[in-house]
Amino acid sequence: MKLITLLLVVLFQHCSCQNFQDGLALDGQLIVVIEDNLSSTSEEGNTWEERSLVTVRSAKLGQVSISHTRPWNEKLSKSLQKLSKSGDFYKLRLHQQGSKEPNFVYTFADACQLYASGMREHINLMIDTTPSAGLLSQSLVGASLYSPEGRLCHSDVSRSIKGYNSTVSVRTPVPGTVPDTATYIQRIEMANKEKAENKDNRSFFAKYWIYIIPAVLLLMVSGGGQEGGR
Amino acid sequence: MEKLLLALLILVSIALPSSSLHEDQIGKFDWIQRGIGSVHLAQFDESGSADGGPARRLVVATQHNVLAVLNTKNGEIMWRHVLPIGATGTIESLNVQEGKAVIVSDNPPLLRSFDVLSGTLIKEVPLKLHYKPDSLYGKRLVQHDSSSVTVAHLTSNTAEITRFSNLKTGAQEWQHSISQPWISSESQCGLTEVSLTCVDASLGLVLSLPFSRLGKTTGKEPQFISTSLESIGLSVAVTSDDDADCKFRSIPITLQNVHGSPRHLLITSGESSSVLQVGSDGSVTPVKEAGASSGAVSVVDVTQADDAVIYRALHHKQAIRISGFSLALGTELVSRSLQFSVGAEAAVRMLVVQQYQRRGDGEVAVRALVVMHDDSVHLVASPGVLWLREEALASVLAVEAVDLPIPASSVSMHDHMAQRAGVLHSLVHRVMLQGSELLSWLAELLEDSLSPSHSSPDSPPALYRDEFNIHKLLIIATASGKIFGMDNLSGALVWSEYLPSIQPLPSDKLLLFLQRSVAHFPHPPQMVLVAMHKDSCRGVVHTFNPLTGEPTGKGLEFLPYRISQASMLAQNDQQFIKPLLVVDTSLGVHAFPSGTELSVVLPHKDVLYIATRNSTHITGHSLRSSTKESLKLTPLWSQHFPPGTIEGVYTKRPGDKVHSAGRVMADRSVLYKYTNPNLAVVVARGLDHINENLLGVYLVDLVSGAVVDWISHSRVSGPVHVIHSENWVVYTYYHDRNRRHELHSLELFEGPSQANATAFSSLAGAQRPPLVERQAYILPFGVQASAHTITEKSITTKCLLLALDTGGIAQVARWLVDPRRPMSGGGPREEGLVQYMPEVHLPSTDIISYNQTLPRVSGIYSAPTGLESTSIVFVYGLDLFFSRVFPSKMFDMLKDDFDYVLIAGALLGLVAAALITRKLAQRKALYHQWK
Q: How many residues are present in chain B?
A: 931
Any chain B CB within 8 A of the CB of A144?
yes
pLDDT tens, position by position, B11-42: 444 444 345 677 788 888 899 999 999 999 99
Phi-psi region of A118 (alpha: psi -120 to 50; beta: other; left: phi over 0): left
Of the candidates A133, A148, A204, the beta carbon closest to that of B765 is on: A148
| ipTM for this model | 0.77
Query: Apex CA B273: angle with CA B268 and CA B278, to 5°?
Result: 85
CA atoms B319, B322, B325, B327: torsion sign: positive
- CA B766 to chain centroid, in Å, comes to 40
The identity of residue A117, as a single letter, is: S
Query: Apex CA B824: angle with CA B819 and CA B830, to 5°?
Result: 55
Confirm if B543 and B518 have CB atoms less than 8 A apart: no
Cβ neighbours of residue A62 under 8 Å, at least 6 residues apart? A169, A170
pLDDT tens, position by position, B66-78: 999 999 999 999 9
Report the percent of chain B where pLDDT is more than 70: 87
Q: Which residue of A has its CA nearest to B755?
A: A151
Considering only CB atoms, which chain B residues are within 8 Å of A126? 639, 707, 710
Quick check: B522 pLDDT over 50?
yes
Quick check: B782 pLDDT over 90?
yes
pLDDT tens, position by position, B859-902: 999 999 999 999 999 999 999 999 999 998 888 888 777 899 99
Q: What is the largest CA-CA distance in chain B?
A: 136
Whole-number pLDDT of residue B858: 93
Q: Which residue of B has its CA nearest to A128?
A: B642
Whole-number pLDDT of residue A154: 65
pLDDT tens, position by position, B315-367: 777 888 888 877 777 777 788 888 888 877 788 888 888 888 777 777 788 88
* Cα–Cα distance measured from residue A14 to residue A11, given in angstroms and rounded to the nearest whole number: 5
Size of interface A-B (CB pairs under 8 A): 148
* Cα–Cα distance measured from residue B612 to residue A69, given in angstroms and rounded to the nearest whole number: 35
Quick check: B578 pLDDT over 80?
yes
pLDDT tens, position by position, B460-502: 556 888 888 899 999 999 999 999 999 999 999 999 999 999 9
Whole-number pLDDT of residue B395: 94
Q: Using CB atoms within 10 A of its CB, is residue A75 exposed (0-12), middle (13-18) or buried (19+)?
A: exposed
State the Cα torsion A40-A41-A44-A50 to the nearest 10°: 70
Worst-scoring range by mean pLDDT, A206-215, B197-206, B726-735?
B197-206
Any chain B CB within 8 A of the CB of A53?
no
Domain assignments of chain B as residue spans, ordered by start: 899-931
A179 and B839 within 8 Å at the Cβ level: the answer is yes
- CA B638 to chain centroid, in Å, comes to 34
Q: Using CB atoms within 10 A of its CB, is residue A10 exposed (0-12), middle (13-18) or buried (19+)?
A: exposed
Taking alpha carbons only, the member of B250, B203, B208 closest to residue B230 is: B203
Burial B259-270 (b: 16+ CB within 10 A, else e): bbbbbbbbbbbe
Task: Return the residue in A132, A153, A187 with the most chain B beta carbons within 10 A, the one to mutate for interface testing.
Answer: A132
Whole-number pLDDT of residue A13: 38
Confirm if B860 and B803 have CB atoms less than 8 A apart: yes
Of the candidates B691, B707, B778, the beta carbon closest to that of A144 is on: B707
A177 and B823 within 8 Å at the Cβ level: the answer is no
Of the candidates B709, B774, B823, the beta carbon closest to that of A183 is on: B823
Q: Which residue of B has its CA nearest to A144?
A: B706
Taking alpha carbons only, the member of A81, A109, A210 closest to residue B762 is: A109
The identity of residue B584, as a single letter, is: D
Any chain A CB within 8 A of the CB of B521?
no
> Nearest-CA distance from A86 to chain B in Å?
11
Taking alpha carbons only, the member of A107, A114, A106, A125 closest to residue A169 is: A125
Whole-number pLDDT of residue B458: 46
Burial B340-370 (b: 16+ CB within 10 A, else e): bebbbbbbbbbbbbbbbeeeeeeebbbbbbb
* Band (A216; pLDDT cuts 50, 70, 90): very high
For A43, list phi and psi in degrees, rounded to 5: -75, 145
Considering only CB atoms, which chain A residues are within 8 Å of B688? 130-133
Calculate mean pLDDT across residues B569-576. 83
pLDDT tens, position by position, A110-126: 888 888 888 888 899 99
* Cα–Cα distance measured from residue B183 to residue B511, given in angstroms and rounded to the nearest whole number: 39
* Cα–Cα distance measured from residue B375 to residue B391, given in angstroms and rounded to the nearest whole number: 5
> Nearest-CA distance from B740 to chain A in Å?
11
CA atoms B441, B444, B450, B455: torsion sign: negative
Q: What share of chain A is helix, strand, coil (3-state, %, to 5)?
A: 35, 30, 35
* Cα–Cα distance measured from residue B682 to residue A142, given in angstroms and rounded to the nearest whole number: 14
Considering only CB atoms, which chain A residues are within 8 Å of B767? 148
pLDDT tens, position by position, B375-434: 999 999 888 899 999 999 999 999 999 999 887 655 555 444 455 567 888 888 888 888
Of the candidates B619, B634, B776, the beta carbon closest to that of A176 is on: B776
* Cα–Cα distance measured from residue B641 to residue A186, given in angstroms and rounded to the nearest whole number: 38
pLDDT tens, position by position, B188-242: 888 888 888 988 888 888 888 888 877 655 556 677 888 888 887 777 665 555 5
Any chain A CB within 8 A of the CB of B734?
no
Q: Which residues 772-801 on chain B approach chain A with CB closer than 8 angstroms?
A: 774-778
Whole-number pLDDT of residue B16: 40
B704 and A146 within 8 Å at the Cβ level: the answer is yes
B765 and A109 within 8 Å at the Cβ level: the answer is yes
Task: Return the residue in B602, B634, B756, B840 with the most chain A beta carbons within 10 A, the one to mutate for interface testing.
Answer: B634
E strands, B133-170, where? 139-144, 149-155, 158-166
Sheet holding B589-592, edge to edge: B563-568, B580-584, B589-592
* Cα–Cα distance measured from residue B298 to residue B302, given in angstroms and rounded to the nearest whole number: 14
Query: Apex CA B886: angle with CA B883 and CA B891, to 5°?
Result: 145
Across-strand partners of B740?
Answer: B735
* Band (A152; pLDDT cuts 50, 70, 90): low
* Cα–Cα distance measured from residue B755 to residue B749, given in angstroms and rounded to the nearest whole number: 12
HSE at residue B715, side-chain half, CA atoms within 13 A, is 9
Any chain A CB within 8 A of the CB of B329?
no
B765 and A151 within 8 Å at the Cβ level: the answer is yes
Q: What share of chain B is helix, strand, coil (3-state, %, to 5)?
A: 15, 45, 45
Q: Which residues 87-126 on chain A approach chain B with CB closer than 8 angstroms?
A: 87-89, 91, 103-110, 113, 122, 124, 126
For B764, list phi and psi in degrees, rounded to 5: -70, -15
**Helix, strand, or coil (residue B513):** strand
List Cα–Cα distances, B245 to B535, B562, B610, in angstroms: 11, 12, 20
The bridge status of strand B121-126 relative to strand B253-257 is: unpaired
Calculate mean pLDDT across residues B681-689. 89
* Cα–Cα distance measured from residue A23 to residue A26, given in angstroms and rounded to the nearest whole number: 6
Any chain B CB within 8 A of the CB of A48?
no
Report the percent of chain B where pLDDT is more than 90: 34
